[in-house]
Amino acid sequence: MPELRKDPVVGRWVIISTDRARRPSDVATEPVRPTGANCVFCEGNERKTPPELLAGRAPGSAADGPGWSYRIVPNKFPALRIEGEIDPVGEGLFDRMNGVGAHEVVIETPRHDGSLATLSPEAVTDVLVACRDRIRDLKQDPRFQYILIFKNHGEAAGASLEHPHSQLIATPIIPVMVAEELAGSGRYFEIKERCVWCDIVRQETRTQRRIVLEGDGFTALAPFAPRLPFETWILPTRHRAAFEESGVDELRGLARVLGEFLRRMNGVLRDPPYNFMLHTAPLRDAPVESFHWHLEIIPKLTKVAGFEWGSGFYINPIPPEDAAAALRAPGG
Amino acid sequence: MPELRKDPVVGRWVIISTDRARRPSDVATEPVRPTGANCVFCEGNERKTPPELLAGRAPGSAADGPGWSYRIVPNKFPALRIEGEIDPVGEGLFDRMNGVGAHEVVIETPRHDGSLATLSPEAVTDVLVACRDRIRDLKQDPRFQYILIFKNHGEAAGASLEHPHSQLIATPIIPVMVAEELAGSGRYFEIKERCVWCDIVRQETRTQRRIVLEGDGFTALAPFAPRLPFETWILPTRHRAAFEESGVDELRGLARVLGEFLRRMNGVLRDPPYNFMLHTAPLRDAPVESFHWHLEIIPKLTKVAGFEWGSGFYINPIPPEDAAAALRAPGG
């Protein structure tokens, strides 16, 4: 059983996930990158994954067989386990609890060489709607406080499998990054009675200096203080706290903006490794007035080094104004 | 001039360091790894660095010439600039200030193939004393709030030069990672009237489960909630808030424990890339009762991926008890 442990000084939780590596030497092993017939996510190999939870299927096709456009399956090597109770216990001054959660894989296309950048807007919309529906389903489990959807694309971004996929992890605790956004945006709302992300979108739209892309109800922008070169946020232009409340029309808009952004990024940065992370409101007692969901996209062009690890400061050699200008150019 | 920018939601500062890369395409460039005659840190090439600030020199040898055991020089491509005033300004809802600070390089040995693991304890002591003395000197500059000493060893750990070196960055703001430790340890002290790190050392010494190495006034341990496999902290066994108050005898003890730890780590993990970061008390108004300086060492065996970036949770496949046992074994 994986375990959640809390650092007694800063309160940071880590997942000690012993199911994923058994011996110390295991961590140094290179990730496997099977292709074609050996890829567990390719069409025809459906039996190599746990049974599907949700899939886009051709009429008449059977579950866990061919004939799908996307599949969502439990992760075969989950960081957190779906079974069991949270059961918090102390160990002297330390705190731990069972690593209860959900860990699912969103296989975005049956094609090994596909990608969110090249799929049709309709296909991307279907994937986004499926993610929304998984959140809606998992939200009914009272053990979970938060659901993070994220993507690791390319080895430098931490991907261990090449086939296009995203992941979903439901956690029994609100992650610290989200807690910090909740706290900061809550303080801002208390003073201004406005959502800080709404104010950011308004100010950026006025100056245009860091805007990458606008339209279809979404704004893609380079944040004022980006951690990494070409970091980009995509936000619904109008206030929206929870991703899972999005309608299909809204997600169609997101699919178009996301696809266009990824194509521009791939053009400017020559298909970089990248991560994205969806920050949405917590599942319970969400502050709907002060939180605004957003997708954070970070190409992995530089390495995080000792200064970042030790300080929490990031050194970014590319001003976001220059990054936004480069990403705006392909469109005119 | 580099710029410090603050994220308006979470308050995280980043350094936009335009001196280090001029065009977007620059960030994708591979780091240069010169060796031998071309290495700017090797003996004989002293004129290729800015003039030395401090060096361990053979009697009669001239500054910026051969005949040294270590040199501390300004970084030729500093993330922060020593000239100028901090000058904070607003831009609508955003905050920025000049990137004022110091960025120095500690060249630990004239030998390209040397390392802190293989240098004599006396040579490592000299380097640590020199670092202490640079902190004491920079502390007199009222613009600086904090000094972080860190090391990037190996390309995966963010090193751009192979020659053994550490770095020192003085910042006009207390870094968020340190601020979180100050806040957490301050809360603990308020309740317990004890230093949390002293309590950790006591509890770990009693159980021995996560102790790696003890002696010479220092304890090396695997933290209860490590972010990364084989993360290790080295702390003075007795309470000490500020590194720069260490006497030469204490630093001699640290040199022995650090050298021994690095040799064991290199043996168990086969010379991994790694970072270390020295967390000491802030330069001004330091809470001497609740803060305890420590060196955090993180081998870079796994990649930080979207889940970590999005949540602040870390997934660690190696329990610290197993890591400590593996690192204890070489000594008996």
For the ranges B27-31, B169-173, B259-263, the lowest mean pLDDT is seen at B27-31
Among residues B274, B224, B317, the alpha carbon closest in space to that of A27 is found at B317
Q: In the structure, what pLDDT confidence band is assigned to residue B332 with cuts at 50, 70 and 90?
A: very low
pLDDT tens track for A280-309: 999 998 888 999 999 999 999 988 999 999
> What are the angstrom distances between the C-alpha of A27 and each of A167, B274, B323?
21, 14, 11
A227 chain-B contacts, CB cut-off 8 A: 12, 14
E strand or H helix at B13, and its extent? strand B13-16
Please give the angle made by the CA atoms of B219, B241 and B277, to the nearest 5 degrees.
65
- A20, A275, A315: residue with CB nearest B317: A20
User: How far, in Å, CA of B325 to CA of B323, rounded?
Assistant: 5
- Residue B67 phi, psi dihedral angles, 5° rounding: 95, 35
At B35 the pLDDT is: 66
Rg of chain B, C-alpha, whole Å: 20
Per-residue pLDDT of B240-251, as tens digits, reads 999 999 999 999
Interchain contact, B27 vs A155, CB within 8 Å: no
Taking only Cα atoms into account, the Rg of chain A, rounded to an integer number of angstroms, comes to 20
Residues in chain A with CB shorter than 8 Å from the CB of B315 are 14-15, 17, 20, 79
Asked whether the predicted pLDDT for residue A62 surpasses 50, the reply is yes
Q: How many CB pairs under 8 A join A and B?
A: 285
Q: Which residues of A touch B177 (CB under 8 A)?
A: 10, 309-312
Q: How far is A214 from chain B (nearest CA, A)?
A: 21
CA B59 to chain A, closest CA, distance in angstroms equals 34
Mean pLDDT of chain B: 93
Chain A residues lying within 8 Å of B269, measured CB to CB: 24, 28
- The residue of B271, B309, B314 whose CB has the most chain A CBs within 10 angstroms, and thus the best one to mutate to test that interface, is B309
| Domain A180-331 CATH (choose: 3.40.50.12280, 2.10.109.10, 3.30.200.20, 3.30.428.10) | 3.30.428.10
- Contact yes or no for B93 and A319 at CB 8 A: no
The domain ranges of chain A are 3-176, 180-331
* pLDDT for the residue numbered A94: 97
Q: How far apart are alpha carbons A298 and A229 in whole angstroms?
A: 8
Q: Is B184 on the interface with A (CB under 8 A)?
A: yes
Topology agreement, domain B3-176 and domain B192-296+303-331: yes
Q: What's the pLDDT score for residue B29?
A: 45
Q: Can A112 be counted among the known catalytic residues?
A: no
Q: Where are the beta strands (DSSP E) in B52-174?
A: 54-57, 68-74, 89-91, 94-98, 102-107, 146-153, 165-171
Confidence (pLDDT) at A329? 82
Identity of the amino acid at B15: I
- Please name the CATH architecture into which domain A3-176 falls: 2-Layer Sandwich (3.30)
User: Which of A15-24, A144-153, A201-210, B60-69 is least confident?
Assistant: A15-24
Domain spanning B192-296+303-331, CATH architecture: 2-Layer Sandwich (3.30)
CB within 8 Å of chain A, chain B residues 54-93: 79, 91-93
Find the length of chain A.
332
pLDDT of residue A30: 47
Residue of chain B nearest A188, judged by CA positions: B9
What mean pLDDT comes out for the span B72-92?
93
- What is the C-alpha separation between B180 and B279, in angstroms, rounded? 12
Structure tokens given for B154:
């190996």
pLDDT above 70: percentage of residues in chain A: 94
**Structure confidence by residue, pLDDT tens digits, A165-181:** 999 999 999 999 999 99
Average pLDDT, chain A: 93
Each residue of B101-148: pLDDT tens digit?
A: 999 999 999 999 999 999 999 999 999 999 999 999 999 999 999 999
Question: ipTM beyond 0.85?
Answer: yes
Question: For A80-135, what is each residue's pLDDT tens digit?
Answer: 999 999 999 999 999 999 999 999 999 999 999 999 999 999 999 999 999 999 99
Contact between residue A282 and residue A182 where contact means Cβ atoms under 8 Å apart? yes
CA atoms within 13 A on the CB side of B16: 23
Q: Could you identify the residue written with the tokens 């660095």?
A: B49
CA nearest to B97 within chain A: A225
User: CB distance from A321 to chain B under 8 Å?
Assistant: no
Mean pLDDT of B57-80: 96
Residue A177 contacts B, CB cutoff 8 Å = yes
Give yes or no for B177 touching A (CB within 8 A). yes
Looking at residue A36, what is its pLDDT? 66
Look at A8 and B229 and tell me if their CB atoms are within 8 Å: no
Alpha-carbon gap, residue B2 to B98, rounded angstroms: 6
Best A25, A27, A166, A321 residue to mutate vs chain B (most B CBs within 10 Å): A27
- Quickly state the pLDDT bin for A332 (edges 50, 70, 90): very low
**Residue among B3, B17, B27, B268 with most chain A CBs within 10 A, to mutate:** B27
What mean pLDDT is predicted for residues A54-80? Answer: 96
Q: What's at A100, amino acid-wise? A: V
Q: Note the pLDDT of residue A273.
A: 97
Query: What is d(CA B97, CA B101) in angstroms, rounded to the nearest whole number?
Result: 12
In this prediction, residue A266 has a pLDDT band, given cuts at 50, 70 and 90, of very high
pLDDT-derived band of residue B26, with 50, 70 and 90 as boundaries? low
With a pLDDT cut of 70, the percent of chain B lying above it is 94
- At A1, the pLDDT band (50, 70, 90 cuts) reads confident
pLDDT at B329: 82
Tell me: pLDDT of B276 over 50: yes
How many helices and strands (H and E) does chain A possess?
Answer: 6, 15
Give the pLDDT confidence score for residue A29 in this predicted structure. Answer: 45
**Contact partners, residue B255, CB within 8 Å, separation at least 6:** B121, B122, B124, B125, B128
Residue B191 touches chain A, beta carbons under 8 Å: no
CA distance B24 to chain A (A): 6
